[in-house]
Amino acid sequence: MAPHRKSRPPSPMGIRTPALATAALTSVALLSQTANASPSEEPRPSLEEVEKKVGDLYRQAETASEKYNAAKEKTTKQKKRVDTLLDDVARRTEKLNDAREELGTFAAAQYRTGAAAPDTASLLLADNPQDYFDQTQLMDRLTSRQKQSVDDYVTQQTATTEKRQEASESLETLTRTQSSLKTSKADVQRKLATARDLLSKLTTEEKARLAAIERQKQEEAQRKADELARQQAADAERRRQEAAQSTGTSTGTGSATGTSGSASTVKADKALAFARAQIGKPYVWGASGPGSYDCSGLTQAAWKAAGVTLPRTTWDQVKAGTTVSVNSAQPGDLVFFYDDISHVGIYIGDGMMIHAPKPGAYVREESIYYMPIHSVVRPA
């Protein structure tokens, strides 16, 4: 007979297979790790992502700045128009009151003589005097002087009503432009605040690396500027030789910039002299001098010093002259950047410009290749 084997009592945790036991231990370990882990944090952006984001924000802020400049200019013009209209309405109202007073004098005289006083009084109270005339025979009972006074009154009332309506519409337009101005200002401030916040979170090492990336961009832009300078010098020499050959002499004076001392050259020189004098002054969005500038504020002020009035915004300045090729750029020309034409500088030659770059920077000389070029315009 086989020996009797005593069965093993069941485990208090119940019967588990080896696979189930392993899974249970794994679950416990994972739960323990989850419990001990710190709360999840948003992934930190790479330095390249920060640089791109900050650059995009500065560009967006500059675009918003140009919208602010446009709204500010429109608001200023609209306010002047409203003030003029209100002054006109006040003068016309005064004339209307004088005409009404004269009619009142006639009405009183007619009342004393028993004439058509009630009709004249009704005229003064009528909403539309001309309609009143069409419905009565008042004019037949007035003297020539009285008729003239009535005509003057009707004319003044009509003109005053029209001017009041025009002033009211202009006030509504002013309100809209002021709202647009406020919106653009808030948009600029919001984007700049976001850019500052991103930069403030960089470590010292990251800031150093960001500065190195900036230097590389500057060096590449300068290389392209030097290449353009060589090309322009070669083109100028070729034109000089062609001019010399056409005149039968070896000492021609033709150049890429036209006749020396021409009116356009003198103006360009004055604009450049002004721009150079602003180097070192801070970029401030919406500013047009004398202590600070944004990009279009600087170019506008520079050409104003030369006696040329440019519009305020980049979008209008790009239309204020003749478009030329980059290779044909001359000192004083305006160089516009980006597809949305949100930045501008003034060309000084050799592939370089003077411009007000961005928030936190100062008016400086820089290669025109630091940013993607949109077009070059020679102010009229």
- From first to last of the 380 residues of the chain, give the pLDDT tens digit: 444 544 555 544 444 444 444 444 444 444 444 445 445 556 777 888 888 888 889 888 899 899 899 888 888 888 888 888 888 888 878 777 777 776 666 666 555 555 444 455 555 555 555 555 554 545 555 556 666 666 777 777 787 888 788 888 888 888 888 888 899 889 999 999 999 998 888 899 988 998 998 999 999 999 999 999 999 999 999 999 988 888 765 444 444 444 445 888 999 999 999 999 999 999 999 999 999 999 999 999 999 999 999 999 999 999 999 999 999 999 999 999 999 999 999 999 999 999 999 988 999 999 999 999 999 999 97
**Looking at 85, 123, 295, 344, which residue is catalytic?**
295
What's the burial of 331, exposed, middle or buried (CB within 10 Å: 0-12/13-18/19+)?
A: middle
Q: Which of 362, 143, 379, 352 is nearest to 229 (CA)?
A: 352
Looking at residue 117, its pLDDT comes to 44
User: What pLDDT sits at residue 270?
Assistant: 96
Separation between Cα atoms, residue 364 and residue 215, nearest integer Å: 15
What is the predicted pLDDT for the residue at 136? 52
How far apart (Å, rounded) are the C-alpha atoms in residues 52 and 341?
19
The model's pTM is 0.69
The CA-atom distances, in angstroms, between 213 and each of 90, 179, 204, 210, 368 are 63, 40, 14, 5, 18
For the question of residue 343 being annotated catalytic, the response is yes
Burial call 127-139: b when 16+ CB within 10 Å, e when fewer? eebeebbeeeebe
- Tell me if residue 295 is catalytic: yes
- By CB neighbour count within 10 A (0-12 exposed, 13-18 middle, 19+ buried), where does 202 fall? middle
The predicted pLDDT at position 286 comes to 93
Instruction: Tell me which of 92, 163, 185, 343 is the catalytic residue.
Output: 343
Give the pLDDT of residue 332.
97
| Catalytic hit among 312, 355, 358, 374 | 355
The count of other CB atoms within 10 Å of the CB of residue 187 is 17
